Amino acid sequence: MNIMKHVLKTTSLALCAGLMAAPVVPAVLPLHAAHAASASDAQVQEPIKSLYAALERVQAKGSGSFAQRSQMLAPAIDHAYDIETVLASSVGPRYAGLSDDQKQALLTTFREFTIARYVSSFKPGSDARFTIDPTVTPSPVGNDRIVVTHIGSSDDPSGTEINYVMRSGAKGWRIVDVLLNAHISQVAAQRADFSSALSGGDVQKLTTLLQKKIKTFSEE
């Protein structure tokens, strides 16, 4: 299942700039605590805001060829996503047993696949409207945080709920999963998609599968 394609079928939209309201802080908090909470939410949300801003440029009319738009989006994907964590979770326990060379080759292809999927889904001329909920939600698992967003249009601003599971690491807060309608995990969907390719233990089959998907995405 391709969650981003599913979203487009549901909303007939492409992603555009994120609109972030000021965090809502309970009045009972001391002033310094309110400032800390606001800054924390802003830090968690910043990669999503940057991603949406890049997607607005990608979907603008006259934004160029598929290759040009991919190059335009790549820095935002690198900034927003913890690509290796998403890949490792999507592959599952087999990932730990891969050699460093296998991991690097697969990671390179998976990054290209992630970029290509976005560029293919969010074509120039789309009428997309994005909102980011003002308050970041704690994840029920671990110390992750959830940024709640909605994809909408000028006719339907609320649109479809797309949430990002964010995790703090050496490079700051990064996406480690995407949830459709708050509960359908992109990582889980990818794991199901990738499992058949990896069933024989040949990582090259998964690399080839991703390369085929990239080629399909790029055919405009």
Per-residue three-class SS string for 90-122: HHCHHHHHCCHHHHHHHHHHHHHHHHHHHHHHC
- The whole-number pLDDT of residue 155 equals 82
Quick one: which H or E segment has residue 41? Answer: helix 31-59
**Averaged over 79-100, what is the pLDDT?**
95
- The tokens for 165 are 């599971």
3-state DSSP percent of the chain in helix, strand and coil, to 5: 55, 15, 30
**Averaged over 164-183, what is the pLDDT?**
94
What would be the CATH architecture of the domain defined by 39-188? Roll (3.10)
Whether the per-residue pLDDT at 21 is higher than 90: the answer is: no
Whether the per-residue pLDDT at 77 is higher than 70: the answer is: yes
**Averaged over 143-152, what is the pLDDT?**
92
Higher local confidence (pLDDT), 19 or 155: 155
Q: What percent of the chain has pLDDT over 70?
A: 82
How would residue 161 be classed by pLDDT, with cut points 50, 70 and 90?
very high
How would residue 84 be classed by pLDDT, with cut points 50, 70 and 90?
very high
Whether the per-residue pLDDT at 23 is higher than 60: the answer is: no
- The whole-number pLDDT of residue 34 equals 40
Q: How far apart are the first and last CA of the chain?
A: 21
- The conformation of residue 185, written as its DSSP 8-state character, comes to E
Q: What pTM was computed for the model?
A: 0.81
* Averaged pLDDT of the chain: 83
- The whole-number pLDDT of residue 140 equals 87
* Residue 140 CB contacts under 8 Å (≥ 6 apart), including other chains: none
**Averaged over 12-23, what is the pLDDT?**
29
